[in-house]
C-alpha cells in the first residue's frame, strides 16, 4: 500500500491538452494554452536553432506533463528492455523522469511514507551519506540504519541483519515502510548477487514493505586488467521474486 499522501497524489491528473493544440497551418482553430510558463511564440525559432537533433516544437512545452515526454519515456523503456532484461517488458507509462536522482529518491520517500507518523526507511551501512538528505530533508521521514559491514551486506547473510533491524525499530514504535539498497553500491562499488536480492525481496514481502532499488550505476560496472567486472543483476530480471513492488531509477 502507498502512504495516504502517495495515494492522494496518484489521483492528481495533468491537463495535457495535446490533442487540440493550436498550429497556424495544421490546426488553426486549436487551443492556445496561457496558464503554463511557456513562450509559445518562440517555439519555431528554438526548433530551428536546435536543427539537426530531430527537435520538435512540442519539446518546448509542458504539454505531456512533468514526468518526461512520451518520446523520452518510450526511448528509456526501450533502453531498459534492451540492457536490463526485465522479466516482462517495461512500458513507457511505467517510466517517470525527474530532475536528478536526488528528486527521485525524495519522491520515493514521499509516496511510500506518511509524514510525522514515526515511519522510516531502512538502509544498510556503510552507504552513500547523502541518502539522509535525499530521503528525509523535506519528507518528515526518518532513516533506520542497519550495520551490515563492507562485504557482508552483499551476501544472503545480510537478510537476517535487516530483519533484526526491522524488529528492533518496531519495538521502539518505529514503522519501517521501505528498504533501500544501492546496486551497484555507492561507495563500495559491489553488486548484489541474485541470491541476496531474492532474500531481500522475500524479507520485504514478509514484512509488507517496499524495496527501493537505486540502480543509477547499473551500466557503469567495469573490470580491471586483473579482474573481470562484477555481474550486475537488476531486480526486474527473470527469476527474481516478482510479487513485491519495486522503484527503479
pLDDT surpassing 60 at residue 242 = no
| ∠ Cα 155 170 122 (to 5°) | 40
> Is residue 213 classed as helix, strand or coil in its secondary structure?
strand
pLDDT surpassing 80 at residue 240 = no
DSSP string, 222-235: --BTTBPPPPP--T
Q: What is the pLDDT averaged over residues 47-64?
A: 75
User: What's the pLDDT band for 247 if we cut at 50, 70, 90?
Assistant: very low
Dist. CA 168–CA 82, nearest whole Å: 41
Centroid of chain to Cα 108: 7
Kindly report the average pLDDT of the chain as a whole number.
85
Which residues 6+ apart lie within 8 Å of 113 measured at CB? 3, 119, 120, 121, 139, 140, 141, 177, 178
Weakest-pLDDT range from 60-69, 136-145, 183-192: 60-69
Check: CB of residue 81 under 8 Å from CB of residue 89. Answer: yes
Strand order in the sheet with 246-248: 142-147, 119-125, 175-182, 210-214, 246-248
Q: What is the DSSP letter of 152?
A: G
The closest alpha carbon to 192, from 201, 128, 160, belongs to 201
Q: For the chain, list the domains and their CATH numbers.
A: 64-97 (no CATH), 100-219+226-248 (3.40.640.10)
Q: What is the pLDDT of residue 241?
A: 46
The closest alpha carbon to 232, from 245, 216, 211, 210, belongs to 216
Q: Higher confidence at residue 231 or residue 20?
A: 231
| % of the chain beyond a pLDDT of 90 | 46
Q: What is the pLDDT of residues 61-101, one digit of tens each?
A: 776 778 888 888 999 999 999 998 888 899 999 999 998 88
Q: What is the pLDDT averaged over residues 105-113?
A: 93
pLDDT surpassing 50 at residue 10 = yes
Check: CB of residue 153 under 8 Å from CB of residue 89. Answer: no
Look up the pTM and report it: 0.77
Dist. CA 216–CA 122, nearest whole Å: 19
User: What's the pLDDT band for 245 if we cut at 50, 70, 90?
Assistant: very low
Q: Higher confidence at residue 69 or residue 175?
A: 175
Dist. CA 230–CA 188, nearest whole Å: 12
Amino acid at each position: 500500500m502507498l502512504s495516504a499522501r502517495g495515494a492522494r497524489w496518484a489521483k492528481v491528473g495533468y491537463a495535457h491538452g495535446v490533442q487540440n493544440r493550436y498550429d497556424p497551418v495544421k490546426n488553426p482553430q486549436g487551443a492556445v494554452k496561457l496558464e503554463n510558463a511557456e513562450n509559445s511564440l518562440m517555439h519555431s525559432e528554438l526548433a530551428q536553432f536546435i536543427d539537426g537533433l530531430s527537435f520538435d516544437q512540442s519539446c518546448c512545452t509542458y504539454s505531456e506533463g512533468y514526468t518526461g515526454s512520451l518520446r523520452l519515456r518510450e526511448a528509456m523503456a526501450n533502453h531498459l528492455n534492451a540492457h536490463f532484461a526485465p522479466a516482462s517488458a517495461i512500458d513507457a507509462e511505467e517510466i517517470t523522469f525527474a530532475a536528478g536522482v536526488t528528486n527521485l529518491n525524495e519522491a520515493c520517500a514521499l509516496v511510500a511514507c506518511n509524514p510525522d507518523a514515526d515511519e522510516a526507511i531502512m538502509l544498510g551501512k556503510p552507504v552513500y551519506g547523502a541518502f539522509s538528505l535525499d530521503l528525509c530533508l523535506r519528507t518528515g521521514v526518518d532513516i533506520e540504519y542497519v550495520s551490515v559491514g563492507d562485504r557482508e551486506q552483499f551476501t544472503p547473510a545480510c537478510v537476517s541483519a535487516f530483519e533484526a533491524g526491522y524488529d528492533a525499530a518496531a519495538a521502539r514504535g518505529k514503522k519501517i515502510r521501505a528498504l533501500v539498497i544501492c546496486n551497484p553500491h555507492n561507495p563500495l562499488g559491489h553488486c548484489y548477487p541474485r541470491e541476496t536480492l531474492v532474500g531481500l525481496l522475500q524479507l520485504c514481502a514478509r514484512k509488507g514493505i517496499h524495496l527501493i532499488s537505486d540502480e543509477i550505476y547499473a551500466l557503469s560496472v567495469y573490470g580491471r586488467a586483473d579482474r573481470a567486472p562484477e555481474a550486475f543483476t537488476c531486480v526486474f530480471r527473470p527469476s527474481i521474486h516478482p510479487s513485491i513492488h519495486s522503484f527503479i531509477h
